[in-house]
Amino acid sequence: MDFLPLFHNLQGQDVLLVGGGSIALRKARLLLASSAKLTVVAPCINEELKALLTKHQCHYIQAHYHESHIANSLLIVAATNDLLVNQHISNDARLRRIPVNVVDNPTLSTVIFPAIIDRSPIIVAVSSGGKSPVLARLLRAKLETLLPSGYAKLAKLAEKFRDKVKQHFSNTEQRRIFWEKVLQGSISEQVLAGRESQAEKELQQLLDNTQDQPPKGEVYLVGAGPGDPDLLTFRALRLMQQADVVLYDRLVAPEIIDLCRRDADRIYVGKKRNNHTLPQDDINLLLVNLAKQGKRVVRLKGGDPFIFGRGGEEIETLADHNIAFQVVPGITAASGCAAYAGIPLTHRDYAQSVRFVTGHLKDNSIDLPWQELVAKGQTVVFYMGLIGLPTICQQLIQHGQAPDTPMALIEQGTTQSQRVFTSTLANMPETLANKTIQAPTLIIVGEVVKLRDKLAWFN
């Protein structure tokens, strides 16, 4: 982050604004909306700004800026069109360690003004770090449509019941779970519909009927997709945002992990071939133990949990221990990576069926039903086949697949690091011989690979 977002309480605090034009007017309105004690310094100011200062009984100093004007300011805003003056203000503020904003000049600023969605007491701020204020305003406009004005009433209802809920529940985790139920259910809908009294009544009833008992744990097996965070489902994101603990492996992109609740515990349980941070059985039991502690646990899995993700093994263990669980499907690597590589897995002219197989089995062998994989009009997708690629090519050819059958290897598919290598069964090992390939990878074999040159759109 270029700037750390913070919310400042300026109520009754001295703030200095230097400038008297239209830009200074906009900043003055914003600062006065936060109940700041505003002083404006400028040789002259426009009539609208003068009227605003008079209305709010603000102090106006008709003069050129001087460092003595800083006095006890908690914040300084430079809104002049003179670069030298702005630099002078910035230097003076930095020497005194006072936050300073130079309008439209993030280099001279130690703080910046975001685009704001005001649903007081709910405030949402969007910033581009000063690099594109117009983009920040466009994003604010989008968010405005997602945040009804009723959210202000919802926040006030929560404030009204805050002390009651705190007295009712003995720990913060129980309180958080209660509030999530309130704010994501029918009570919040009543508020947004303008029925505050009914919402208040339901909230009190819910509080009276909720026992102060340890929360029950639950596990969410969430498919994180092949890498691009935009491919997450809404449900996946919602559960990621409310989990207490997140277990993830090396197939889950860092950008996706960052979308989890910020204060959630994060446990890496990654596995590489012949190098497991935690054996699968230990992961299964860890999920059980965390849930028995009352935790809500997200098990993030690359792709889809039920397609070569060992999700079935994990929920078997959960079921054996009577642990509640949910499974959230994800876009599997075959679908996501093929689409981003411009390779349709089926096509009326080339392939009428598709088969997913794993590149290595439980005992690390590649003992597959090769004869079944050699069929006309079929696309075969190999997961985790990088190490065994020479054997895959050799076995398919030996069992009757034409040596010139098109083949693709997709490295880190759907991410900005995606690379796609195309060749034939006979030549692919040589094509990759001098390449450094980083997992995860996906291998596609079939005539549909021919379409990549025409249909590729991602890279």
**SS3 state at 117:** strand
Q: Is residue 413 annotated as involved in ligand binding?
A: yes
Structure token pair of residue 158: 């929560």
How far is it, in rounded angstroms, from Cα 152 to Cα 189? Answer: 13
**Is 270 labelled a binding residue?**
no
Q: Tell me whether residue 384 is annotated as binding.
A: yes
Catalytic (active site) residue 404 = no
Instruction: Return d(Cα 49, Cα 191) in angstroms, integer.
Output: 38
In single-letter form, the type of residue at position 258 comes to D
1 is in an annotated binding site: no
**Strand ranges, E, within 28-71:** 37-42, 59-62
* 150 annotated as ligand-binding: no
Q: How many residues does the chain have?
A: 459
Catalytic position from the list 50, 153, 181, 271: 271
**Residue 208 annotated as part of some ligand binding site:** no
Assigned token pair, 45 = 């100011």
Angle, helices 47-55 vs 22-33, to 10°: value is 20
271 is catalytic: yes
* H-state helical runs in 169-242: 172-183, 186-192, 196-208, 234-242
Tell me if 226 sits within 8 A of 252, measured CB to CB.
Answer: no
23 has binding-site annotation: yes
Half-sphere exposure of 195 (CA within 13 A, CB side): 11
Is the Cβ–Cβ distance between 429 and 393 less than 8 Å? yes
Determine if residue 302 is labeled as part of a ligand binding site.
yes
- Catalytic residue selected from 92, 228, 244, 249: 249
Bridge pairing between strands 265-268 and 245-248? parallel
Question: What residue numbers does the annotated binding site for NAD(+) cover?
Answer: 22-23, 43-44
Active-site positions read 249, 271
Question: What residue numbers does the annotated binding site cover?
Answer: 22-23, 43-44, 226, 302-304, 307, 332-333, 384, 413
